[in-house]
Amino acid sequence: MAEAPDKTVVEKDPKEEKAADKPASGGSKKFLMLGLVGIGAIALGVTLAIFVVRPMMSKSPTPAEPKKEVEHKAEESPGGEHAAPAGTVYAIKDIVVNPANTGGTRFLSVSFAFELKSEELALQIQNKELMVRDALITILSAKTVVQLTDPKEKEIVRYQIRKRISDILKTDQIAAVYYTDFVLQ
């Protein structure tokens, strides 16, 4: 015999129908909340960057007024007294070299002042400043860190510089060589 198809009707609960029509709201609320927090954090970061970090980074240090007078170190005379500077002073600033045997990991930044016995010699140094700077770089870059930090060696370097600059200028009118800046890192 042929069976009759089952004609049982199952009624759906109206509450279940409404729940099936709505998407799960608990998970989407969390997702929405995380999204808003993320956008807020980005907005806060951009605001800080614009109003706090940018002004701090854009401020350039104010350049110092050039010194019109060069401070002098007094040399000791043979009688143990300090001698006053004898004449014109010519400064050469910001010589930067890598000391010998450092592989470029260390550097020396140094400035010098030359005490000259005549004003004409200052003009000679000015005209030959490139040669003078080259001589300073050559002498200093040949020295090791130990030589550059030892006080006796610094005096030897001072003598070598005085001799080499005198040779370049073909004169013996350089009264003294002063270190005006010396930074070794």
**Domain range summary for the chain, segments of one domain joined by +:** 25-58, 86-184
DSSP 69: S
**54: number of CA atoms within 13 Å, CB side?**
7
Answer whether 0.85 is exceeded by the pTM: no
pLDDT at 57 over 50: yes
pLDDT (mean) for 100-121: 88
pLDDT (mean) for 14-37: 70
Q: Give the pLDDT score at 68.
A: 33
Q: Give the pLDDT score at 13.
A: 61
Measured in whole angstroms, how far is the alpha carbon of residue 17 from the centre of its chain? 70
Q: How distant, in Å, are the alpha carbons of 90, 140, 174 from that of 118?
A: 11, 26, 9
% of the chain surpassing 70 pLDDT: 68
Give the C-alpha separation, 33 to 27, whole Å. Answer: 10
Length of the chain: 185
The SS3 call for residue 66 is coil
pLDDT at 47 over 90: no
Architecture of domain 86-184: 2-Layer Sandwich (3.30)
Q: Give the pLDDT score at 11.
A: 63
